[in-house]
Structure 1
Amino acid sequence: ITGIDLGEKHLAAAATEDDSFLLNGGELRALRKYQNQTKAKLQRKISRKERGSKRWKRLVRTKNKQLNHLDNKITDLLHKLSRKLIEMLLERGVSTVVIGELKGIRDSVDYGSRMNQRLHQWAHAKFAQMVEYKAKGAGMIVKYVNEEYTSQTCPKCQHRHKPSGRTYDCPECG
């Protein structure tokens, strides 16, 4: 059994009973940043042209073409990373994959404009779906677990206590 924690910086953190590893999301973040910069640059140019003019139409076509190309690159990268994750799990003999469910993580959250943009472009559901169908294709069982309070709950006695710092010490069972 392995648990997978999806993230924005590290696309997946996987932990088995005796091993753990990270799947770096740096390349994906770089593509998203480039996509945002390209979109902003072209949108600024478009906004300065008269709507419906020849130049405006050409810029809109260019913008759509470039953004579609970048979307395809992002999807391709997600496929490659999900395949790499499944291959690493197969090497370790994993038969059950438990993925943290992140439904509603973006609801009513305000971390500032840049962090909000990154959070809302985070492709966690798409990546989880890719991991799920590839894992099932490899004969693995896939389960989703609600992640609420998992970092505050003791794995031994199930007592909930908010930790201070990076170390969790349960006041109930020690």
Structure 2
Amino acid sequence: MRLVVQVKLLPTPQEASALEATLRACNRAATYASRVAFTQGLKERNGLQKQVYRELKATFGLSAQPAVRAVKKVVDAYAALKAKLQSGNLGRPTSRRYRKAVGSPISFRPEAAQPFDDRCLSWQYDARTVSIWTVDGRMRGVRFACSADHLKTLVQYRKGESDLICRGGKWYLIATCDLPDPEVYEPVDWIGVDRGIVNLATTSNGTNYQGRRLGRYRRWQARKRAELQAKQTPSATRRLARRAQKEKRHANHVNHKISKEIVSVAQRTGRGIAVEALGGIRERVRLRRDQRDTLSSWPFHQLGQHLAYKAKKAGVPFLEVDSAYTSQRCPRCGHTERANRPDRDHFRCRRCGLAGPADHVAGVNVRDRARSAWVFVTAPAPSP
């Protein structure tokens, strides 16, 4: 499995200035290559490299390998855009988002992340330093800091490119690590996880992770954002950017804690984890205007991602099952009706009378569907 490890660089002021100049030069070069790719229809790496390679070196001051990395960065960006268009993430071809995405070349922010391969970047793990190419020449002995666990992972499994990023005036390297996949055990049962807004996650065990505190926190942040936006000053704009990152980190931390606990329980009891497949929920669900911001900004997908990769790392079976009617179906008799859920919090079957918390019932239905799905996943293929 592939994981990323983030380490913090500790450059001197002179080194930080060289890193900033390098990022800006690389992104100016990538933006230029992107315009050429867009106007001439060159989305293939070799063709684009032949067209812009000399220009990237002569005009933007890049060496040979950084110029190649800039071209690959552009090609990867257009490949990612194509995948988004094909999957429908940008809406229909007639939508405004779709037309805006295909109507102009991709541009790169001056401080966007820049990939470095082993020819441009080398690691000295014992000294906790890196040697990195810059537009001012090779810079050696740049210190970095990370935890002991991250350092161990880097030493054993780092492979491929590392991205240089600047966030809030601080410098980081994002290193790719290729870990061996642990063997997935045969589950004795499943833990169904229902995700929501009022309750971030509710398991079939009855464990409830409430979103009340996170909801209050996000509403408070929204009020502060509105106050800062009303000022319309440069200082307010800078504080808005810092506040947005702080809110994002907080939600990420909450999702990490929830997913870590669920995976730990599953691993300890020999069970698997099942969640609802919520892809395309924005297109399927119709909401009132006052609900749209809450649904769009809530970290549903992130919690599912955390559960998936933590389960894979621990060797815990993980499944996504159909989400249709999980909160309206009775897990005892199978009766499915909207009236089974008279309000958001309660479930009562109109046929057999089974009653309980609605999110817990949904988690039980997710668990039951995982039991059925796992039979088909592990069933041997029919002989020809």
For the aligned pair, the TM-score class normalised by the smaller chain equals: 0.7 to 0.9
Query: Which secondary structure does the structure 1 equivalent of 2:202 belong to?
Result: strand
**1:64–1:128 Cα change, 3 Å:** same
* Aligned-residue offset at 1:110: 2.4
Paired positions, count? 157
Consecutive unaligned residues in structure 1, runs of 5 or more: 47-55
Number of the residue aligned with 1:168:
349
Give the 5 Å matches for 1:14-93: 14-15=203-204, 19-46=205-232, 56-91=233-268, 93=269
Aligned counterparts of 1:86 and 1:26: Cα–Cα separation in 2: 22
* Aligned-residue offset at 1:77: 2.1
Q: Sequence identity, in percent?
A: 25
* Equivalent of residue 8 in structure 1, options 191, 197, 207: 197
Aligned counterparts of 1:2 and 1:112: Cα–Cα separation in 2: 34
Deviation sequence 1:72-95 (CA, Å, 0-9, x none): 22212221222122223334x142
Number of the residue aligned with 2:295:
119
* Equivalent of residue 323 in structure 2, options 125, 131, 147: 147
Deviation sequence 1:49-68 (CA, Å, 0-9, x none): xxxxxxx2222112112221
Instruction: Indicate the structure with greater strand content.
Output: 2
Aligned counterparts of 2:329 and 2:252: Cα–Cα separation in 1: 35
Aligned counterparts of 1:134 and 1:40: Cα–Cα separation in 2: 36
Aligned counterparts of 2:265 and 2:213: Cα–Cα separation in 1: 19
Consecutive unaligned residues in structure 2, runs of 5 or more: 1-189, 353-384
* Aligned-residue offset at 1:151: 3.5
* Aligned-residue offset at 1:98: 0.8
Deviation sequence 1:22-70 (CA, Å, 0-9, x none): 1122232223212212211110111xxxxxxxxx222211211222122
RMSD: 2.3
**1:143–1:73 Cα change, 3 Å:** same
Q: TM-score, normalised by structure 1?
A: 0.77
Q: TM-score, normalised by structure 2?
A: 0.37
Number of the residue aligned with 1:52:
none
* Aligned-residue offset at 1:5: 0.4
Flag the structure with more relative contact order, 1 or 2, with Cα contacts below 8 A and sequence separation at least 6: 1
Please say if residues 193 and 203 of structure 2, whose CA atoms lie closer than 8 Å, have aligned partners that are also in contact: yes
Deviation sequence 1:138-167 (CA, Å, 0-9, x none): 211111012112344455675644444431
